[in-house]
Amino acid sequence: MIALIRGFTRSQTDRVGNLWVDVTRGILRLLLPIAVVLVAGGEVQNFAGSPDITTLAGAHQSVPGDPVASQEAIKEVGTNGGGFYNANSAPPV
Protein backbone atom coordinates (compact mmCIF):
# COMPACT_ATOMS: atom_id res chain seq x y z
CA MET A 1 0.00 0.00 0.00
CA ILE A 2 2.86 2.37 0.80
CA ALA A 3 4.38 1.74 -2.63
CA LEU A 4 1.02 2.45 -4.27
CA ILE A 5 0.66 5.75 -2.42
CA ARG A 6 4.21 6.68 -3.37
CA GLY A 7 3.43 5.89 -7.01
CA PHE A 8 0.40 8.19 -6.98
CA THR A 9 2.26 11.05 -5.30
CA ARG A 10 5.21 10.80 -7.69
CA SER A 11 3.19 10.68 -10.89
CA GLN A 12 4.68 14.02 -12.02
CA THR A 13 8.29 12.79 -11.94
CA ASP A 14 10.27 10.18 -13.83
CA ARG A 15 11.47 8.50 -10.59
CA VAL A 16 9.17 5.92 -9.07
CA GLY A 17 11.12 4.80 -6.00
CA ASN A 18 12.39 1.63 -4.42
CA LEU A 19 10.24 -1.16 -2.95
CA TRP A 20 12.77 -2.02 -0.25
CA VAL A 21 12.90 1.59 0.91
CA ASP A 22 9.10 1.55 1.17
CA VAL A 23 9.08 -1.74 3.10
CA THR A 24 11.77 -0.55 5.50
CA ARG A 25 10.02 2.76 6.11
CA GLY A 26 6.70 0.99 6.65
CA ILE A 27 8.21 -1.33 9.23
CA LEU A 28 10.19 1.33 11.07
CA ARG A 29 7.62 4.13 10.96
CA LEU A 30 4.37 2.19 11.33
CA LEU A 31 4.67 -1.38 12.61
CA LEU A 32 7.52 -0.92 15.11
CA PRO A 33 5.86 1.99 17.00
CA ILE A 34 2.59 0.04 17.22
CA ALA A 35 4.47 -2.99 18.59
CA VAL A 36 6.25 -0.80 21.16
CA VAL A 37 2.91 0.60 22.34
CA LEU A 38 1.52 -2.94 22.62
CA VAL A 39 4.54 -4.10 24.64
CA ALA A 40 4.22 -1.05 26.91
CA GLY A 41 0.59 -2.04 27.44
CA GLY A 42 1.55 -5.53 28.58
CA GLU A 43 1.49 -7.60 25.40
CA VAL A 44 3.93 -10.53 25.27
CA GLN A 45 6.98 -10.17 23.01
CA ASN A 46 9.70 -12.78 23.46
CA PHE A 47 11.00 -16.02 22.01
CA ALA A 48 10.85 -18.06 25.22
CA GLY A 49 8.09 -20.39 24.12
CA SER A 50 5.63 -21.56 26.75
CA PRO A 51 7.32 -22.31 30.08
CA ASP A 52 5.52 -24.45 32.64
CA ILE A 53 5.18 -22.81 36.03
CA THR A 54 3.70 -23.77 39.38
CA THR A 55 0.98 -21.41 40.60
CA LEU A 56 0.47 -20.29 44.20
CA ALA A 57 -2.24 -22.92 44.55
CA GLY A 58 0.25 -25.62 43.54
CA ALA A 59 -1.19 -26.32 40.09
CA HIS A 60 0.95 -26.48 36.96
CA GLN A 61 0.22 -23.98 34.22
CA SER A 62 1.73 -23.19 30.83
CA VAL A 63 2.30 -19.44 30.37
CA PRO A 64 2.27 -18.34 26.74
CA GLY A 65 5.33 -16.44 25.59
CA ASP A 66 5.84 -15.81 21.90
CA PRO A 67 6.46 -12.80 19.61
CA VAL A 68 2.85 -11.66 19.88
CA ALA A 69 3.17 -7.85 19.87
CA SER A 70 4.91 -7.70 16.49
CA GLN A 71 2.32 -9.99 14.91
CA GLU A 72 -0.60 -8.12 16.48
CA ALA A 73 0.74 -4.83 15.07
CA ILE A 74 0.46 -6.28 11.56
CA LYS A 75 -3.04 -7.58 12.31
CA GLU A 76 -4.19 -4.23 13.71
CA VAL A 77 -3.11 -2.37 10.55
CA GLY A 78 -4.93 -4.82 8.30
CA THR A 79 -8.51 -5.99 8.55
CA ASN A 80 -7.86 -9.71 8.43
CA GLY A 81 -9.21 -10.59 11.89
CA GLY A 82 -8.12 -13.59 13.85
CA GLY A 83 -5.25 -13.36 16.25
CA PHE A 84 -2.02 -14.94 17.40
CA TYR A 85 -3.57 -17.23 19.99
CA ASN A 86 -7.17 -17.69 19.10
CA ALA A 87 -10.14 -16.21 17.29
CA ASN A 88 -10.59 -12.48 17.92
CA SER A 89 -7.22 -12.28 19.73
CA ALA A 90 -8.53 -14.01 22.85
CA PRO A 91 -5.48 -14.91 24.97
CA PRO A 92 -5.39 -18.31 26.63
CA VAL A 93 -6.02 -17.80 30.32
pLDDT of residue 66: 83
Q: Could you report the per-residue pLDDT of 15-65, keeping only the tens digit for each?
A: 767 778 888 888 899 889 988 998 898 888 888 888 888 999 999 988 878
Q: How far is CA 19 from the centre of its chain?
A: 20
pLDDT of residue 88: 65
Using H for helix, E for strand and C for coil, what is the string for 17-30?
A: CCHHHHHHHHHHHH
Closest CA to 28 of 61, 70, 68, 56: 70
DSSP 24-64: HHHIIIIIHHHHHHHHHTT--B-S----EEE-TTS-EEEPP
Average pLDDT of the segment spanning 1-17: 74
Between residues 93 and 64, which one has the greater pLDDT? 64
